[in-house]
Amino acid sequence: MSPAARRAHRLRGNGVRGNETRGNGARGHGVRALTARALTGRASRFHGSTARAFIARALTARGLTVRAPLAPVLASVLFAACAEEPDDAAEAPAPLELEVDCTRTREGCLAGAATLFVPGAPPTSPDDLEWAPTAGGHRAQLELVPGTLELARGERRYALRVLPAPTVPLLEELGDARTPAVRDRLRAALGEDAARAEDGEAPSRSSEANARRAALLSRLGRVLLTLGEDEDAARTLLAARDAQREAGALTAAVHDAIAAGWVQQQRLWQLGDARRTLASVEELLPELPGARARVLYHRAMLASRLSQLRDADGLLREARALAERFRVIDLIANASLKHAEVLQALGRPEAATEALRAAEPHLEGGCLRAHHAAARGWVALLAAEASGGAAPVGRAPHAALEEALAAYAACDAAPGDRENVQVNLALAAWLRGDLAAAGAHLERAEGATAEVRGWRQALAARVALEGGDAAGALARFDALATRARLAPAPPLQWRAALGRGDALRALGRDADAVEAYRAAEAVLDE
């Protein structure tokens, strides 16, 4: 295979994925914003009696006790075990290292599910935590309740604090519904709050007001997303991100940024905007391991769309490692599935198969089994397309994709899931030479997301060309070239340029066809 052909193959391996809506942060992440402040402090380099006196004052001031009931929340390292007597030459032992995956605010964690990770041996106190070995250390999963906890391993300590999770009565009343009526209620509530603040009837900048506004915007963004109002959804989720940060709700700010970036990347095909949105929360990620794993995953999806497959490979490895450390089950599965697609596109079929197998133990809940079937179908299609016709397509891709369709019908599939599979079924039919079946599947893909519509358009142009309608195919490829350039989407830019060349040749315009092929080669060289 020539260098140009290899590059072409890499771009071909970047089309409609098995499922790109998974892991989008767009569902069910309850908004958490702090309404009560917690005192925090740090003392990491004290010696002897000075350290003990400081520790006693610090614990008393913060209401912490050495044998507190099990009720953690990240606050701060309050002290480190030190030498008995001051000694400038002696290094104080480092504090107990701890990573906490919880719903974080600036002041600590909020009540709810959490995962703790410590490098090396597990803490010895408290003794009612169940620690499981994992790569590099030990992990414990627990439900945080308001209060305090001190973890200890030998003389090393870590103080944790958990804060009550605030509530917004209107959101509790509305539940999980995402209907036009809910959209209108949320917009009305936001408008009423703004009017009261403007009239001086309610403080506009209080922590409680900020938290309520952030929560309402976050829910509204997700309702708009469900209703297909994508541009409004992206704007609202970006406003929610900003409001969450102002309220000090760090995890929620990242989740809203992920959801906004997903809309920009998947629904609106605004890849540059999606990159900027994900970058906007980068500085929050060091203390948010679970959220960091999700951002890495979405950065990998973006890299894949831009044909940066090796970057996507590295990002997915990092995302999966973090997800495994903190038992983010859906992300373990989704990162594995996406990794399989990237590895197949990189020409590593054995590794792709292994990644698909690695996802299998983690497919419980949601639409994960449907995503797995869709990924298997897409990987099989990549393998068939890479053969250049040397191997028959067979029924394997079709069977896996039909399985995915049935599974999506039985789960809460995101908009675009089924249409994505229909486009891939059309590709499978086209590779078999069944133009009628390909056209039928493309008709069923109406309502696809912006990116999938691009792939639908590319395949519809191919079907038209092979069906003898070269002029119609050229018009479709011209329109696709414009859309792909604006995104930008290099894989579709390449397919549009190559398709234009083929259509122009069929029309007898050989000189124009050569220019189109040169444009396709230029995309490969970028």
Placement of tokens 């050495």 in the chain: 66
Name the token pair of 421: 């599979």
pLDDT at position 495, please?
93
Residue 81 counted as domain residue? yes
Residue 60 counted as domain residue? yes
Q: Give the structural domain span for 56.
A: 48-163
Q: Answer yes or no: are the C-beta atoms of 494 and 310 closer than 8 Å.
A: no
Instruction: Give how many domains the chain has, as a whole number.
Output: 1
Our CA angle for 184, 186, 187, nearest 5°, is 65
Q: Can you give the pTM of this predicted structure?
A: 0.78
Placement of tokens 């044998």 in the chain: 67
From the centroid of its chain, how far is CA 77? 30
Name the token pair of 267: 């629904």
Q: Are strands 156-163 and 109-110 parallel, antiparallel or unpaired?
A: parallel
Name the token pair of 233: 């959804």
Residue 118 counted as domain residue? yes
The closest alpha carbon to 192, from 171, 213, 208, 206, belongs to 213
Residue 104 counted as domain residue? yes
pLDDT at position 201, please?
65
Strand order in the sheet with 112-119: 99-101, 112-119, 137-144, 132-134
The closest alpha carbon to 286, from 297, 276, 296, belongs to 296
Q: Answer yes or no: are the C-beta atoms of 484 and 493 closer than 8 Å.
A: yes
State the amino acid at position 515 in one-letter form. Answer: E
Name the token pair of 215: 């929560």
Other C-beta atoms lying within 10 Å of the C-beta of residue 111 = 20
H helix and E strand count, the chain: 20, 8
Residue 139 counted as domain residue? yes
Q: Answer yes or no: are the C-beta atoms of 259 and 24 closer than 8 Å.
A: yes
Q: How far is CA 105 from CA 37, 211, 244, in A?
A: 10, 11, 9
Q: How far is CA 338 from CA 272, 291, 309, 345, 415, in A?
A: 21, 18, 11, 11, 19
Q: What's the sign of the alpha-carbon dihedral 136, 282, 371, 483? A: negative
Q: Is residue 101 within a helix (H) or strand (E), and if so which, with residue range?
A: strand 99-101
Residue length, the chain?
Answer: 526
The closest alpha carbon to 179, from 125, 225, 216, belongs to 225
391 Cβ neighbours under 8 A, 6+ residues apart: 383, 384
| Residue 44 three-state SS | coil
State the amino acid at position 119 in one-letter form. Answer: P
Residue 198 counted as domain residue? no
Q: For 398, how many CA atoms within 13 A lie in the half-sphere containing its CB?
A: 14
Where the chain has pLDDT below 50, the residues are 1-18, 23, 25-93, 390
Residue 131 counted as domain residue? yes
pLDDT at position 261, please?
98
| Residue 130 three-state SS | coil
Q: Answer yes or no: are the C-beta atoms of 291 and 253 closer than 8 Å.
A: no
Rounded CA separation 519/478 (Å): 13
pLDDT at position 471, please?
97
pLDDT at position 297, please?
98
Alpha helices in 263-366 (DSSP H): 271-279, 289-305, 309-325, 329-345, 349-359
Report DSSP state, residue 275: H
pLDDT at position 278, please?
98
Residue 130 counted as domain residue? yes
Question: Furthest-apart CA pair in the chain: how many Å?
Answer: 92
pLDDT digits (tens, 9 = 90+) for 391-438: 566 677 899 999 999 999 999 888 789 999 999 999 999 988 999 999
Rounded CA separation 51/484 (Å): 63
Name the token pair of 430: 């086209």
Placement of tokens 């133990």 in the chain: 361
Determine if the peptide bond prior to 397 is cis (ω within 30°): no
Q: Is residue 214 within a helix (H) or strand (E), and if so which, with residue range?
A: helix 207-226
pLDDT at position 163, please?
92
Alpha helices in 467-509 (DSSP H): 470-486, 490-506
Q: Are strands 147-153 and 156-163 parallel, antiparallel or unpaired?
A: antiparallel
